[in-house]
Structure 1
Amino acid sequence: MVVIPGRGADVPEAIDPERLWLPPDRPRLGRRPKYSRERITAAAVELADEEGLAAVTMRAVAARLGVAVMSLYSYVPDKDTLLELMVDTVSAGMEFAPPTDDWRADVRALAGAQRALMHRHPWLVAALPQRRTIGPGTLAALEHALAVLAPTGLTGGARTEVFALISGFVASHVGHELAQRRALETATPDFAAAQYRYLTTMAATGAYPHLAATLTEPPAPGDPDTTFTRLLDRILTGLTP
């Protein structure tokens, strides 16, 4: 899913997209492998889901599988490669409805699917800026985005940029949602009221006239889904002339 990495010289040599994502020209000879990239990646995803991205190390994944850490390196050479596999594996789990004649509704649905994916796998927010290439799971999301944005009349390159823009917004917003959730879990019961009293006191000093005017307005609906859609619509409004 999601944010598209740089091209050409921007991609470090340590990750070879062809070797990582394309099948080998010839099948592997000899004994059948005891493990697989898919099994190792699944173990890493489970670990990240339970304990966060920082808990994912080659040693920790090996321990989860009950094997020696060195036995993993012939399947996954390093943690950077494992991260690429993890992101693409979970991205492949998104399901997309066929494009309709309403591209804005289709983009909302795509963004909603991305948001739901990141809430299922909160470590994605931290993992996305670290990824270097784009695998088949993410390519499926890109292909869908190009299709639903076709009615806008934008070029393919511009539609790719829009996909990156929307994906970046979703990742940033979910990161904010997760941080707010953690903050509320530790906040005192009267935190919100104290915050409002503080702001109104500061606004009453006259030093913040725009804030004072804002505080007199009726509050916007504050439930998470409504807030997400409202902010996304602000972006969609400016996408086309």
Structure 2
Amino acid sequence: MAGRAAEPEVIWARPERTGRGPRPAYTRADIAAAAVRIADTEGLDAVSMRRVAAELGCGTMSLYNYVPRKEDLYELMVDAAGGEHELWEPGGDWRADMLRVAHQTRALMHRHPWLPRLMSPVYGFSPNALRYLEHCLACLDPLPEPYGTKLELIAMLNGIVTTYVTNELATDERTRSLPWSQERENAMRIAYLGGRVATGEYPRMAAAFAEDAGPIDLEAVFERALGRLLDGFDHSRR
């Protein structure tokens, strides 16, 4: 019927290429790899159907035979990056295994700085995402909690890592744009903040600064955030 909207369809439920004709010239893996290369070198905003088609050496309309929507292209990219997760045999210590997962995910996001922008439950059930979730659940086998609770733990852990890396990447980008060193920028802001706190209008902030032992160790902050999350699920620490 004319004007009828197409039915929504998950990209993974579609054949590699629709229509008749010769054998497809590209696979989804080829397309995803091209898009990831562009995003890694030029940023996510540089990724478009036209740009990916040019990278592959095909026409833009031909690419739509493989990937109907840009959202599908993003899903292919997230799945391709997720395939870089190392899936090891769990060691029986669920805390140690989940900390290893968190550190691996952090490293993965730094290799692909565009990835935090695309982190969404919408892309959470691609082939590599399912393998990752199954691996995490295997790591959590020793934890006496229902699977729903374990999935919440995995989601919270990913949320902490994504937030932390997003802040790291934003700080790095801002540092590169400064006309002077980050140290000079920090000194300027600390001096201003110290002057404001010294007015007596912010007694609690003054107390916080008074007990500060020195520069913030961001790696230690990351470890504490992960540890406190896992503590909340750890029956042995209650």
Band the TM-score falls in, shorter-chain normalisation:
0.7 to 0.9
One of 148, 154, 175 as aligned partner of 1:157: 148
Q: Which amino acid aligns with 1:234?
A: R
Instruction: Report the equivalent of 1:35.
Output: 26
Contact 1:96/1:110 (<8 A) preserved:
no
Q: Which runs of 4+ in 1 moved over 6 A?
A: none
Establish whether residue 194 from structure 1 lines up as the match of residue 188 from structure 2: yes
**Which among 115, 119, 123 is matched to residue 124 of structure 1?**
115
1:145 aligns to 2:136 (yes or no) = yes
Structure 1: 5+ residue runs without aligned partners? 1-12
Partner deviation per Cα, 1:42-100 (whole Å, 9 max, x = no partner): 10110111111111110010111121101111111111111111101110111033222
RMSD: 2.4
For 2:176, the equivalent position in structure 1 comes to 185
**Does structure 1 residue 81 correspond to structure 2 residue 75?**
no
Percent of aligned pairs sharing the same letter? 42
Q: Answer yes or no: is 1:227 the counterpart of 2:221.
A: yes
- Per-residue displacement from partner, 1:101-147 (whole Å, max 9, x unpaired)? 32211111000111111000010111113844511111111111112
Q: TM-score, normalised by structure 2?
A: 0.85
Partners of 1:132 and 1:152 in 2: CA distance:
26
Q: Which runs of 5+ in 2 are unaligned?
A: 1-5
Q: How do residues 54-69 of structure 1 correspond to structure 2 at under 5 angstroms?
A: 54-69=45-60
Count matched residues. 225
Structure possessing the higher radius of gyration over alpha carbons: 2
1:205 lines up with 2:199 in the alignment: yes
Select the structure with the greater relative contact order (CA < 8 A; seq sep ≥ 6). Answer: 1
Q: Residues of 2 paired with 1:67 and 1:223: CA distance?
A: 49
| Shift in CA distance, 15/49, structure 1 to aligned 2, threshold 3 Å | farther
- What is the alpha-carbon distance in structure 2 between the residues aligned to residue 139 and residue 213 of structure 1? 47
Q: Do structure 1's residue 238 and structure 2's residue 232 form an aligned pair? A: yes
> Are the counterparts in 2 of residues 115 and 170 from structure 1 also a CA contact under 8 Å?
yes
Tell whether the 8 Å contact from 2:44 to 2:114 is kept in structure 1 after alignment. yes
TM-score by length of 1: 0.84
